[in-house]
Amino acid sequence: MNSLPPGAPGSAAHDLALDALGSGFGNAFLICGIAAALAAVLTAAGMIGVPPSPQLQGRSP
């Protein structure tokens, strides 16, 4: 499904564009995964030593 016929100027960039898109998506997922893990670590570290809410202490689970 090329928009350019073979031999037209710019049609040779098709494979390069597909490789770049595949690499870009892989990098994006990696960066998002690292950011999510970092956010989880920072949240857990920030909650250390925080006392429970007084409103929740009298309730049963």
pLDDT (tens, 9 = 90+) of the chain, 61 residues, equals: 456 677 777 777 777 777 777 778 888 999 999 999 999 999 999 988 878 777 766 665 5
Calculate the CA dihedral of residues 51, 55, 58, 60 and round it to 10 degrees.
Answer: -90
Residue 11 contacts by C-beta under 8 Å, 6 or more apart in sequence? 2, 4, 5
Distances (CA, A) of 23 to 5, 19, 28, 55: 25, 6, 9, 49
Q: Which two tokens stand for residue 31?
A: 């960066």
Would you state the pLDDT for residue 39?
A: 97
Would you state the pLDDT for residue 42?
A: 94
Would you state the pLDDT for residue 60?
A: 57
Q: DSSP for 29-49?
A: HHHHHHHHHHHHHHHHHHHTT
